[in-house]
Structure 1
């Protein structure tokens, strides 16, 4: 099988970390680089978080690039408190808080994204896990970029008008609606979307989560720590009210689809558009299943997945660094 080339664009929070770890161990997958964008926290914190994840997994050779620090049109209210002000649960101590600056690549994330895709034309799948600002800027600099992609996988948007950031809007799209609009209008490559409702409707059990973070590996211990404050089976959340209790690693769904297309068992193929107006609907993604808009480009909006395969990918993702268990056993 041909090697799969991935580039990840992320606003690294807890679920982004889970998705990144999934990509690091996927067989036949090569991660070319990680581009960072504001979202769950500031762009600086996102860079530091990505480097923390790579360090835990002993994969610091992967280049990390700092990108958009705010939206195209307006400045969002930061910090966001989804996973603490630092994006990883506000539980990590750092004796050298500025050391990450020397580890980040000097090239801007948008330029790096264009370069990595152009150097591997037709081979790169781009997995977008945060606000789509870097992608919107990239297509403004290189309008041919979407034609050079093999595929685009997005975690974001809605398929039922239910939201987690607003009544009708999902976090990533609401954080920068103009960028989401540009991407879904101008990226005419094969596009696959894991919406918020899709992830919630394909949730895993809290018992699985307990087993996931109880593995005796550095990655699992790291994940248990950063989820300790914000992942709770008894918490009353909008997700729980709308879809019932369960463990949802939002970004992992898009990553799983990029790694193994058989994880997605059902999808709707149709044009979509992001709403930019309205007090309640700004940032919402609308599905045009009757082709009212007259758009030619259709995207695959995921509706169901093989949760057993997803669970296996998540469990394997926390078995890092590779060989950690074997080395521990050998010492015993």
Structure 2
């Protein structure tokens, strides 16, 4: 059976790294490229983080492309430091940047080229702010129709944000791009929202089992999650609600799992959505139009429940010996 071509667009933080490993471990997935965008850290750090993940998984032949370093419009926003200044917990030994291994072609141009060469075949998995995707449709308005499908980790269903009062991080970092993508990408689109991940969370006991597998990828993940895990324990002791919370949630992995195996998703809502741009406290919020008030021509699939056992299995496979 031919492997399904996938492009991963990422702002490679810790959960992105887990999602990339999941794709690399899937026997029927061919990662055509990894395109990088700002978000968890600067786009320069993102490129280096992706190269580190590919090296650990012995998949250095996969091309890595540098993309947008800030939002589509407006001033560049400060990146998150939740995963450390480097996006991977500031725990890895300093290494010389592998600049020569980053492709010269811009990520957006590469994305358009690869999808045009493989029309209706490529699944695009977007794990960070959607700036590269929005720029792609501006450069090539036919780009979305050339995709097989699109999987997004981002947005929220109920107006509860994790970085602002009403918005999820990826959409808040570039609300205009999120708006453009959800308005103009007419290919089948699957949104793994913040709530979807939180409500299908895993136990910390499973996390410990995952990190203690006897494999290089597991050792790598254990290292880069060490500070976040320690911070989580302190936060729980002080009864504060933080990113890692009372459960283990590898946010970006939920979108990747849906791409790899559609049966992981057991329930979804099909409806039009729109990203709010004007609200003083709701900018970046994703609104679900369940009553067709917007009269939009297309809907998206907003994921709501997953088969947690299958998801756990995909995570476990992601940290075991890499497959080539």
TM band (smaller chain): over 0.9
Q: 1:206 aligns with which of 184, 204, 207?
A: 204
Q: Secondary structure at the match of 1:254?
A: helix
Counterpart contact for 1:121–1:149, Cα < 8 Å = yes
Which TM-score applies when normalising by structure 2?
Answer: 0.96
Partner of 1:154: 152
Please state how far the C-alpha of 1:77 moved relative to its aligned partner. Answer: 3.3
Counterpart contact for 2:157–2:195, Cα < 8 Å = yes
Q: C-alpha separation between the residues in 2 aligned to 1:239 and 1:129?
A: 26
User: Cα deviations across residues 5-44 of structure 1 (Å, max 9, x unaligned)?
Assistant: 1000000000000000000010211000000000000000
Relative to structure 2, which stretch is displaced further, 129-138 or 238-247? 238-247
Which residues of 2 match residues 92-103 of structure 1 at below 5 A? 92-96=92-96, 98=97, 100-103=98-101
> Considering only aligned residues, what root-mean-square deviation do their CA atoms show, in Å?
1.7
Please state how far the C-alpha of 1:240 moved relative to its aligned partner. Answer: 4.2
Q: 1:165 aligns with which of 163, 166, 169?
A: 163
Q: Secondary structure at the match of 1:123?
A: coil
Partner of 1:310: 311
Question: Against the structure 1 CA distance between its residues 42 and 214, is the aligned structure 2 distance closer, same or farther, given a 3 Å change threshold?
Answer: same
Runs of 4+ in 1 over 4 A off after TM superposition: 237-244
Counterpart contact for 1:38–1:70, Cα < 8 Å = yes
Partner of 2:114: 116
Q: C-alpha separation between the residues in 1 aligned to 2:149 and 2:118?
A: 13
Please state how far the C-alpha of 1:4 moved relative to its aligned partner. Answer: 1.0
Counterpart contact for 1:125–1:153, Cα < 8 Å = yes
Please state how far the C-alpha of 1:262 moved relative to its aligned partner. Answer: 0.2
User: Cα deviations across residues 222-264 of structure 1 (Å, max 9, x unaligned)?
Assistant: 0000000013453438994799620000000000000000000
Question: Against the structure 1 CA distance between its residues 136 and 239, is the aligned structure 2 distance closer, same or farther, given a 3 Å change threshold?
Answer: farther
Counterpart contact for 1:201–1:243, Cα < 8 Å = no
Partner of 1:72: 72
Which residues of 2 match residues 187-202 of structure 1 at below 5 A? 187-202=185-200
Q: Secondary structure at the match of 2:93?
A: coil
Q: Secondary structure at the match of 1:300?
A: strand
Q: C-alpha separation between the residues in 1 aligned to 2:125 and 2:3?
A: 16
Partner of 1:257: 258
Q: C-alpha separation between the residues in 2 aligned to 1:138 and 1:71?
A: 13
Q: C-alpha separation between the residues in 1 aligned to 2:95 and 2:83?
A: 21
Instruction: List alignment gaps of at least 5 residues for structure 1.
Output: 324-332
Which TM-score applies when normalising by structure 1?
Answer: 0.93
- Match status 1:231 vs 2:246: no
Q: C-alpha separation between the residues in 2 aligned to 1:200 and 1:216?
A: 28
